[in-house]
């Protein structure tokens, strides 16, 4: 089900000490704090001073912790990856001072496992090795570095069968995305930016920071029992949190407690609740990463190729939306397949059914008939149900003789191959109606 991408590149310039704490080293460009020009300096963190608008490296000297202007130290930039620097600038000092906070990490990881177990129990995992490997390939292009954690972790992708357009990231390195979210993306660049944004949440450990904030204000007893998935009823609570620059532990608890009372078959994990500050920061980082890829002449798939890759689940999702009576959502997916020339007769069948469900004017019935006729011209035409839909359309157009012919054609095949009894009875009832109507004429 889950496949991991092992990231092995650009683990350079990192050394290890107590509890596998990765650090960066640089070269002193002048004398300071007991160091001489040319000395190798171990850096413990990074700081930005808003009042002076200056950046500093944090390091230990004989006199204690000191803040040194970044211009005084030269880093081996060629050996430092983009994400390693993002981590160093935002996370290194916190881990240096507070440690890895293993208890909080374990709680979040256990809750992820509970979440995935619940998802698996309801058969919500979308199994498609090609699609999963494709997204992992894109993840590897965006993040070709070590994921900095106290233990070995790899980025992983899990795809859910859900029409809700959602994507979530988990602190240990998992990204969960729904087929509904994939379907709404217009191109590969949109997907890459979305992945980069959530990779940034993982690198910055926003989930861990938010959980620690919760735990520092309120006892975390029983938290694992309520860290399950959220549904649409919690959407307003999440919106209120995301619409603020900060949120309190009480805000977080109210959302988690509401989740506890909801259905088992829900989608959103409360680990994935970010403040506007966090979202803005990750979006800026994602944009910088995308700009770097473009400067390196990375070529994205064309929109047509992207839709071809996504088409298997787009077809399933279009049918799901149709049965949910979300006709506009279903039609949007089918029209994308038609737009890029990759629709088959089943797609035209679905679009015909949508037209019949939504409209009944002379013009729309003619449009629906045109859809059936287009499907009939396809080399692999095999959907006999199209003849049933054709008969319905022709009846609406009061072309009863043609309707009768289409319905008889349908029955001649449907009864031989054991088609759905409900549709067979529908065709027979329609033929009876035609007999009554034409007899009246």
Q: List the CATH number of the domain containing 60.
A: 2.30.30.40
Provide the 3-class DSSP secondary structure of residue 382.
coil
| 231 and 120 fall within a common domain | yes
| 271 and 216 fall within a common domain | yes
| 130 and 228 fall within a common domain | yes
Q: Enter the tokens of residue 146.
A: 């070590």
Give the pLDDT of residue 439: 80
Provide the 3-class DSSP secondary structure of residue 327.
helix
Full residue range of the structural domain in which residue 235 is found = 102-295
* Mean pLDDT score, 160-184: 92
Is 158 inside a domain boundary?
A: yes
| 74 and 192 fall within a common domain | no
| 164 and 279 fall within a common domain | yes
pLDDT score of 236 more than 50 = no
Domain of 370, CATH number, reads 1.25.40
- Displacement of CA 221 from its chain's centroid (Å): 31
Give the pLDDT of residue 360: 96
Work out how many domains the chain is built from and give that number.
3
Question: Phi and psi dihedrals of 341, rounded to 5?
Answer: 70, 25
Is 285 inside a domain boundary?
A: yes
Is 141 inside a domain boundary?
A: yes
Query: First vs last Cα of the chain: how many Å apart?
Result: 62
Measured CA to CA, the distance from residue 60 to residue 33 in angstroms comes to 9
Is 120 inside a domain boundary?
A: yes
Strand blocks (E) in 77-173: 155-160, 167-169
Lowest mean pLDDT among 295-299, 340-344, 395-399, 431-435: 295-299
Query: What are the tens digits of pLDDT across the range 268-321?
Result: 565 567 889 999 999 999 999 999 999 988 899 999 999 999 998 999 999 999
| 171 and 114 fall within a common domain | yes
| 64 and 113 fall within a common domain | no
Q: Which residues, 6+ apart, have CB-to-CB distance to 39 below 8 Å?
A: 27, 28
| 38 and 131 fall within a common domain | no
């Amino acid at each position: 089900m889950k496949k991991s991408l092992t990231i092995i590149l650009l683990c350079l310039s990192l050394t290890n000490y107590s509890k596998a704490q990765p650090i960066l080293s640089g070269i002193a460009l002048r004398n300071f704090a007991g160091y001489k020009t040319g000395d190798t300096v171990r850096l413990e963190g990074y700081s930005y001073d808003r009042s002076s608008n200056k950046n500093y490296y944090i390091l230990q000297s004989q006199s204690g912790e000191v803040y040194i202007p970044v211009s005084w130290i030269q880093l081996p930039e060629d050996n430092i990856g983009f994400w390693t620097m993002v981590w160093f600038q935002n996370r290194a000092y916190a881990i240096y001072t507070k440690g890895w906070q293993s208890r909080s990490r374990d709680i979040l990881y256990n809750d992820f496992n509970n979440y995935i177990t619940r998802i698996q129990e309801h058969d919500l995992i979308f199994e498609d090795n090609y699609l999963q490997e494709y997204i992992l390939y894109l993840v590897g292009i965006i993040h070709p570095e070590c994921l900095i954690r106290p233990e070995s972790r790899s980025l992983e992708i899990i795809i859910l069968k859900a029409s809700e357009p959602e994507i979530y990231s988990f602190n240990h390195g998992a990204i969960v995305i729904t087929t509904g979210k994939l379907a709404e993306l217009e191109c590969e660049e949109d997907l890459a930016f979305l992945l980069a944004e959530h990779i940034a949440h993982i690198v910055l450990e926003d989930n861990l920071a938010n959980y620690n904030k919760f735990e520092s204000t309120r006892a975390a007893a029983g938290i694992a029992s309520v860290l399950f998935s959220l549904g649409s009823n919690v959407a307003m609570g999440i919106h209120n949190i995301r619409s603020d620059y900060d949120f309190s532990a009480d805000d977080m608890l109210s959302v988690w407690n509401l989740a506890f009372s909801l259905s088992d078959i829900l989608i959103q994990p409360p680990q994935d609740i970010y403040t506007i500050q966090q979202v803005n920061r990750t979006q800026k980082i994602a944009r910088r990463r995308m700009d770097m890829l473009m400067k390196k002449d990375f070529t994205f798939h064309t929109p047509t190729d992207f839709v071809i890759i996504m088409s298997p689940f787009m077809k399933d999702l279009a049918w799901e939306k149709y049965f949910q009576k979300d006709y506009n959502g279903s039609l949007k997916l089918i029209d994308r397949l038609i737009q890029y020339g990759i629709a088959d007769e089943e797609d035209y069948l679905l679009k015909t059914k949508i037209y019949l469900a939504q409209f009944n004017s002379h013009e729309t019935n003619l449009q629906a008939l045109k859809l059936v006729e287009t499907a009939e011209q396809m080399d692999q035409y095999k959907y006999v149900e199209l003849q049933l839909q054709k008969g319905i359309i022709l009846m609406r157009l009061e072309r009863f003789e043609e309707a009768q012919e289409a319905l008889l054609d349908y029955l001649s095949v449907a009864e031989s191959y054991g088609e759905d009894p409900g549709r067979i009875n529908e065709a027979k009832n329609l033929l009876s109606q035609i007999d009554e109507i034409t007899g009246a004429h």
